[in-house]
């Protein structure tokens, strides 16, 4: 028989998942973007603006270099007929200037776009 002074026996109730790994909390910046709040819109707008500035700078640089070739041929008509090792100068410039400029411009764009995105991800993850 139980005595009235003892009272009911106490039982501790725990969740079976207390030892499970907790989900990491989502950084506030990422949450702002996911929920499409005004702050999230500002974050995305800044990323898009940065990438647009980069694209315009790379295109402008390539356009100056590539646009200089027709200008060269217009200002110095003798260069149109100039032969180097039996190959016309415009063809040599096409191979050794145009394609490398396009390739290098693309590499510069990709490298800097990845850098911008990494900085953005780090910034948003800190908030």
Is residue 30 a contact partner of residue 40, using CB atoms and an 8 Å limit?
A: no
43: its two tokens: 């974050």
Write down the domain spans for the chain: 28-126
Tell me, what's the pLDDT at 49?
Answer: 95
Average pLDDT, the chain: 84
Q: What are the residue ranges of helices labelled H in the chain? A: 28-34, 38-75, 78-81, 89-93, 99-126
| 34-83 pLDDT per residue, tens | 777 888 888 889 999 999 999 999 999 999 988 888 888 889 888 888 88
Tell me, what's the pLDDT at 80?
Answer: 85
Confidence band, pLDDT 50/70/90 cuts, at residue 23? low
Is residue 105 a contact partner of residue 62, using CB atoms and an 8 Å limit?
A: yes
pLDDT beyond 80 at 19: no
Tell me, what's the pLDDT at 17?
Answer: 67
115: its two tokens: 């850098």
Tell me, what's the pLDDT at 26?
Answer: 64
């Amino acid at each position: 028989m139980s005595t009235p002074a003892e009272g009911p026996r106490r039982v501790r109730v725990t969740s079976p998942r207390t030892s499970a790994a907790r989900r990491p909390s989502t950084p506030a910046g990422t949450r702002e973007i996911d929920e499409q709040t005004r702050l999230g819109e500002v974050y995305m707008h800044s990323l898009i603006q940065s990438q647009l500035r980069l694209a315009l700078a790379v295109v402008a640089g390539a356009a100056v270099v590539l646009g200089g070739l027709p200008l060269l041929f217009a200002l110095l008509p003798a260069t149109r007929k100039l032969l180097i090792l039996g190959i016309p100068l415009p063809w040599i410039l096409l191979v050794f200037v145009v394609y490398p400029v396009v390739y290098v411009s693309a590499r510069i764009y990709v490298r800097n776009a990845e850098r911008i995105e990494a900085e953005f991800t780090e910034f948003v993850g800190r908030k």
